[in-house]
Structure 1
Amino acid sequence: MHETIDTEYLTDFLEALLAIPSPTGYTDQVVRRCCTELDELGVDYELTRRGAIRAVVRGESRDPARAMIGHVDTLGAQVRRLKPNGRAALVPIGHWSSRFAEGARVTLLTRSGAYRGTILPLKASGHTFGKEVDTQETDWDHVELRIDVEANNGADLAEHGIAIGDYVAIDPRPDMRDNGYINARHLDDKAGVASMFAAIKALLAGDVRLPVDTYFLFSIAEEVGVGASAVLHGEIASLVAIDNGTTAPGQNSSEKGVTIGMADSVGPFDYHLTNKLIDLCIEDRIPFQRDIFRYYRCDSASAIEAGNDIRTALITFGVDASHGYERIHLDALESVARLMVAYARSPVQIKRDREELSSLKGFTRQPTELSEEA
């Protein structure tokens, strides 16, 4: 039985998420929006102290529970210094190049209110600097935030309540085309989160009891490397991260279908869980490809580093120009949601995972036999 993914719901919720500024550290509002949606769907959830969400769709058994995780936080910046010229120096939130920040319209979030502004290179006018606008260096020391207030020096900025550490949210500028292409900033990972909600909606519409409790986790600090470190618990035996796959020369990811991550910069994902996802794609005729990401890590890394003994895997939607002005295709989001539904409904294969510590009985095997063609 294959549940239909409501792609209109998926894209509408994606637009709603993109409209909410949520750089890492400033995620309260997007967390509230996700919780409101869970209330609408009738899904139980609880929050950690800082706002990571742990929603659950109950199954026939409590364990070995499964989890899927996406992150609601995005890239952004903070004010590093108030400059004598009345502008602000910046430091990035997350790992992204200032090349993609140049020209961005932004919202500056202060204790006293929000301001609009633009990130510009230090030499922004060809009429003033000539060819130097093309030869200046590209890094965060060579951009500044021009804020739309009257300010001729740092003291003027301070009088407006602007201070070191204030958050800078980058405008997403979404553009959704009728042919399925979606352009925006912050599709990593708000597109993944929207796919998760579409999968939840499909599971509930199917009215079929899941084999085990299935958790949908939403982390708030993935872009700084600690997203899943505090949202798991002992009953969860496997964790599938939902994130972006980079479509670029030298990569095998695609903007269509599911891209299954075989390894990232931390190392290989769990052999058995990854192959289960591949088998589900084959059985349910979900188009897929495999890839390895050398300069990339996801929530599974922080989960393992926090001491969780869990199986991890990664399923992705292909993103062109990741951590820049990104592009994806709705086909990939629908395929990812279909795989999440198939995974949640699939029977448990490794029953021994119910126990954190056990004997060799029921332990897994990996094939070592030579192929007949070898």
Structure 2
Amino acid sequence: MVYPNIEEIFPLLKNLVSIPSPSGNTNEVITYVEKFLSELQITTRRNRKGGLIATIEGKDSSQHRMLTAHVDTLGAMVKEIKPSGRLKIDLIGGFKYNSIEGEYCQIETSNGKKYSGTILMHQTSVHVYKDAGKKERNQDNMEVRIDEKVHSEQEVRALGIEVGDFVSFDPRVEVTPSGYIKSRHLDDKASVAILLQLMKQIKTENLHLPYTTHFLISNNEEIGYGGNSNITPETVEYLAVDMGAMGDGQSTDEYTVSICVKDASGPYHYELRKHLVRLAEENNIQYKLDIYPYYGSDASAAIRSGHDIIHGLIGPGIDSSHAFERTHKSSIENTAKLLYHYIQSNLIQ
């Protein structure tokens, strides 16, 4: 059995995480994906929200499948320019301020200029602030130090920086000799890379899918509504490919594909879950079943928006989600294998 070339996924993933794409500012990364698929001669179109839909015709065009992964990431936006020339920020997506303390960042102005900076506590210096370690990590105390000679609000505005400018975080991506990949934004660019490599395999191996299949690269998942539209009336099954959440009480790990049975939105479709488990067991794919208590996906967003679909969620296991994330190539591989078999399987009846 030939599976998607796992080694090709890693450089693709490194490229994806290196393109800043906080929710609301995803055109550059969508253009990258669009070009990748165009070179494979895969038909794509953008929806009005800015997401990308790729379609591969199947033997049966009366019933469709849709798979989705999201390319938008956590980030921030300039909330206020302080008199000191530092920036107050407002968060984009569900994460905590402590997870970005000390991180290098990029500020992109509305006219396209980009400036580097660092996200720090105002009370960082222990030589000055006696309570530096005790202050709360929050919007009032954290700020962006811009790497420019600015000491006032006026000097910052002279650079073109304004309220509403996007702030993205340095991914610090690294692939280790032991097979780990650690980076910000593996949620969900690891899954995007897997789907892109899967589509490449479909084209290069001339695989004939049983059903017309859409691949939605959504761009608003982190804020709750990336994959809740542009679902064709013929779509029967909708599978979100997103990270598996790890932590105390979780079965998900960095080495298997995680099959979600329930998240904050409720249970996923029972028969589809059992179908995915059968495919995994029949093809010696390592998997874990899990519940993600504080989690929602594009599939759950699609259900909430009223679509009459069978919905599911799988993905690679990601450690330290919404912070300094990490996974292993074996988790990427097991996820890719399950998707490979899923797209060639029969629909749930």
Normalised TM-score (structure 1): 0.91
Cα separation, 2, equivalents of 1:208 and 1:14: 23
Query: Which residue of the partner structure matches residue 114 of structure 1?
Result: 114
- Conserved? CA contact 1:117–1:147, under 8 Å: yes
CA contact (8 A) 2:3 2:336 kept: no
* Paired letter, 1:37: F
- Runs (5+) with no aligned partner, structure 1: 351-374
Q: Does 1:205 align with 2:204?
A: yes
Q: For each residue in 1:112-141, what CA deviation from the matched residue of structure 2 results, as whole angstroms up to 9, or x when unmatched?
A: 3111100001111111113x1111112233
Rounded Cα–Cα distance in structure 2 between residues aligned with 1:75 and 1:253: 22
Check conservation: 1:68, 1:215, Cα contact below 8 A: yes
How many Å separate the matches in 2 of 1:140 and 1:199?
41
Amino acid aligned to 1:43: I
Runs of 4 or more off by more than 3 Å in structure 1? none
Checking the alignment, whether the CA contact within 8 Å between 2:82 and 2:88 is kept in structure 1 is: yes
Contact persistence 1:252–1:291 (CA under 8 A): yes
Query: Counterpart of 1:124?
Result: 124
Give 1:177-192 correspondences, 5 Å limit.
177-192=176-191
Q: How big is the alpha-carbon RMSD for the aligned residues of Structure 1 and Structure 2?
A: 1.1
The one-letter amino acid of 1:124's match is: T
Distance (whole Å) between structure 1 residues aligned to residue 73 and residue 96 of structure 2: 14
What's the secondary structure of 2:343's corresponding residue?
helix
Separation in structure 1 between the aligned mates of residue 256 and residue 147 of structure 2, nearest angstrom: 42
Greater Cα shift, 179-188 or 299-308: 299-308
* Partner of residue 367, structure 1: none
Superposition deviation, residue 47 in structure 1? 1.0
Q: What secondary structure, in the 3-state scheme, does the structure 1 residue paired with 2:140 have?
A: helix
Cα contact 2:237–2:347 (8 A) shared by 1: no
2:207 maps to amino acid: V
Deviations 1:226-285 (A, max 9, x none): 111223121111111111111211111010111100000010001111111111101111
- Does 2:33 align with 1:37? no
Deviations 1:195-253 (A, max 9, x none): 11122222233323111111111100000001112231211111111111112111110
Is the 1:53–1:231 Cα contact (8 Å) retained in structure 2?
no
> Does the CA contact (< 8 Å) of 1:281 and 1:287 recur in 2?
yes
* Residues 283-362 of structure 1 aligned to structure 2 (within 5 Å): 283-350=282-349
Partner residue, 1:173: 172
Cα deviation, residue 187, structure 1: 0.5
For this pair of structures, how many residues does the alignment match? 348
Aligned residue identity for 1:126 = V
SS of the residue 2:177 aligns to:
coil
Structure 1 position 79 matched with structure 2 position 81: no
1:238 aligns to what? 237
| 1:252 alignment partner, SS class | coil
Measured in 2, the distance between the counterparts of 1:92 and 1:205 equals 41
Provide the C-alpha distance between the structure 1 equivalents of 2:284 and 2:167, rounded to a whole number of angstroms.
43
For 1:292 and 1:71, locate their aligned partners in 2 and report how far apart those are by CA, in whole Å.
20
How many angstroms does 1:158 deviate by?
1.2
* CA distance, structure 1, for counterparts of residue 10 and residue 158 of structure 2: 41
Residue of structure 2 in register with 1:100 after alignment: 99
Write the letter of the residue equivalent to 1:75. L
| Letter of the 2:213 counterpart | T
* Corresponding residue of 1:273: 272
CA distance in 2 between counterparts of 1:108 and 1:28 reads 16
1:66 aligned onto 2:39: no
Identify the residue that residue 215 of structure 2 maps to in structure 1.
216
Matched letter for residue 114 of structure 1:
K
Amino acid at match of 1:22: S
